[in-house]
Structure 1
Amino acid sequence: MIARDIALEGTRALITDGRPKITRTHAVPHSRQARTPLAVLMTGMPGAGKTTLARALEQAGYQRLCPDEEMFRRYGHYGIDFPRGQFRVREAPVLKDIAVEFRRHLQAGHDTVVDHGFWTPEERAEWRRIAEEGGGVPVLIYLPAPHEVRWARVRERNQKATVDANSIEFSEEDLLRFATRFHPPSADEPHIVYDSKPDSVLTELRHVLPCGDVAPQLPPDTAAPGVSNAPSEE
């Protein structure tokens, strides 16, 4: 008889004393025969801190998949090597390939984070489905940040737009326009709220795993890398 664990089907974010907390909901049985990988999805505007968090998770042992970096590898500089108006058309096949790689990592048992913004509930639902198809436990992390903070980061990053795959150049007007198209997760979308502390997220992710599974964690005395946050012109 196979021993059983409990895998969490849903989570809900709570904030207590400034730290994200998770309320677990809808438990479903999961076999202990194999470790259940976590499939971390993020939702947030450009400059919210996605790549900073994703690279911290990568340092803790997660596989990191970044569509912006693959776009840069294939097509070069946005607005220089290809026209600005072609971003979404060129991004579509990149996202399809990232989805294939996402499934592959999860099927191999690897915790994986997708370094991307996922602006709408429909996108997030689709990628949760992809995660589940790969055998992973999907976890959504919401990265809120005020406009002033995001624009300051983007403005600084614009200076590196020709050399950094994660530094796509755009204006403050672009950022304001993107905000009209971004839909933060509602209470119907279980999620963790990022408090700008990657170690807090790693702690919460350990609570999401089935009993007996162990999530990666940052090496001792290692701070989260202070890197730019990837914009995504969607």
Structure 2
Amino acid sequence: MPPPVVVLVCGPAGSGKTTHARALERAGWVRLSFDDEAWARGHRDHPVDPAAVARVHAGLQADLLRLVAAGRQVVVDTSFWSRASRDAYRAVLAPTGATVVVHLLDTPRDVVLARLAARRGTGGDDVVVPQELAVAYLDGFETPTDDEGPLVVVPGTGDDD
């Protein structure tokens, strides 16, 4: 049996990551969501405190390792805004032999900003991100490159995600 595949869904807030991850979930993948877990722990504002971020990621990584050990295909739904964040998950998964593939949501800036402006704070995937913070997220985003490993670019048009 081939090793499991883990998809790291990558993109700034508002790019359509959760919509993409849920499509994979409907196809049988297990979805692990940073935003859902942070929301469940009571975090309602961005940015989330760094110590809380570390705790949420530690929990997600423990769940991820358990699922991969059980042979499940997993999609991790978080921004993976930096190469370091992607590399951290790759390092956790390295001993498992799982194949790690990054799915980059390539969504136009104006679409991302419009989506974020429409948020109302109703759940983990609807956390309000003030415009100045949204711009900072976009400007600080480290786009993955092919030298990191398998990369799939997913167009985010605003029409279907």
The CA distance in 2 between the partners of 1:155 and 1:73, in whole Å, is 23
Compute the displacement of 1:180 (Å).
Answer: 2.6
Aligned amino acid, residue 127 of structure 1: Y
Whether 1:120 and 2:82 are equivalent positions in the alignment is yes
Compute the displacement of 1:186 (Å).
Answer: 2.3
Q: 1:98 aligns with which of 40, 56, 60?
A: 60
Whether 1:109 and 2:71 are equivalent positions in the alignment is yes
Which residue of structure 2 aligns with residue 177 of structure 1? 136
Which residue of structure 2 aligns with residue 166 of structure 1? 125
Whether 1:71 and 2:67 are equivalent positions in the alignment is no
- What is the alpha-carbon root mean square deviation over aligned residues? 1.9
Matches within 5 A, 1:1-234: 34-78=1-45, 87-156=49-118, 158-159=119-120, 161=121, 163-190=122-149, 191-196=151-156
Runs of 4+ off more than 2 Å = 84-89, 131-135
Aligned amino acid, residue 152 of structure 2: I
How many residues are matched? 158
Q: Return the TM-score normalized by structure 2.
A: 0.89
Cα distance change of structure 1 residues 86 and 49 upon mapping to structure 2, 3 Å threshold: closer
Which ranges in structure 1 are unaligned for 5 or more consecutive residues? 1-33, 79-83, 198-225, 228-234
Compute the displacement of 1:167 (Å).
Answer: 1.1
Q: Return the TM-score normalized by structure 1.
A: 0.63
More helix by share: 2
Describe the SS at the equivalent of 1:188.
helix
Percent pairwise identity: 29
Cα distance change of structure 1 residues 168 and 184 upon mapping to structure 2, 3 Å threshold: same
Q: CA offsets, 1:63-82, max 9 Å, x none?
A: 0001111111112532xxxx
